Amino acid sequence: MVNKEFPAAPVTDVTDAAKEFFIPAGKKEFPTAAVTDDSCDLGDDFFTFPDTSEVSYVQLFPDKNVTFSEISLCMRFKTVKNRHFALFSLATKKSANSFTVEAKKRHKFSLSVHTHTSIILKKPFARDWMSLCVSWTSKTGNVELWIDGDYYEKGNFKKGANISGVPFIIIGEEQDSYGGGFNKSQSFIGDIADVNLWDRALTEEEVMEFIYHDNIRGNVITWRALSIRLLHSASC
């Protein structure tokens, strides 16, 4: 696991903290029109989700709209909560769970493609940053998941399907409808960083490059050039 040298504690004063984004546990702390659209290079910074909430999330806008016959996601997260939470949710109008990565209780990670869900790896949560990469290929139905150095593979998972339509992409919450249907019992508590998305399956070498060296960037979502929507007045 590469040492990202993040601050030891989250800084909530976003006017002084430059590019760390604090996601509020409700709209009451911010003006009513507290949605901010930005394009950001977050570098070594991260999003902090301090508490359960139905309105605390970050929307990510893809650099291009594609039909996914292959898809890969890499990201880092840190949490001390052993509970059900969503890390990444990609919805289309055809399916609210087109591509969703969640953690279940007892440290089990799951992947959903068009609501078809598989529990694919059990991994205790560390108290430090964890690196996650997952890929799915329609042609073979093959799923590959890496959590730090642990690896899982499964075949014949939604073989022949694809993910099409304009995606609505969220981190920190899970969508039960296109751009909505949030449930605070599924909300993430902790920090999220280095979110990258590709329209192809990554090789093992590329995954290791992300986990240990952080030198690979997504071609659909790129952490170094994020287009985002936040529920607060911070900017980058």
Which of these, 96, 87, 93, 92, lies nearest to 121 by C-alpha position?
Answer: 87
Asked whether residue 118 is domain-assigned, the answer is: yes
pLDDT in tens, 200-221: 999 999 999 999 987 899 999 9
Mean local confidence (pLDDT), 144-164: 88
Asked whether residue 92 is domain-assigned, the answer is: yes
Mean local confidence (pLDDT), 73-85: 87
205 contacts: CB under 8 Å, gap ≥ 6: none
Which domain does 158 fall in, by range? 68-202
Supply the pLDDT for residue 23. 41
Asked whether residue 124 is domain-assigned, the answer is: yes
Rounded-to-integer distance, Cα 138 and Cα 94, Å: 17
Asked whether residue 154 is domain-assigned, the answer is: yes
Supply the pLDDT for residue 2. 41
Supply the pLDDT for residue 193. 93
Stated pTM of the model:
0.80
What domain count does the chain have? 1
Asked whether residue 108 is domain-assigned, the answer is: yes
Q: Residue 99: give its domain's CATH number.
A: 2.60.120.200
Supply the pLDDT for residue 5. 43
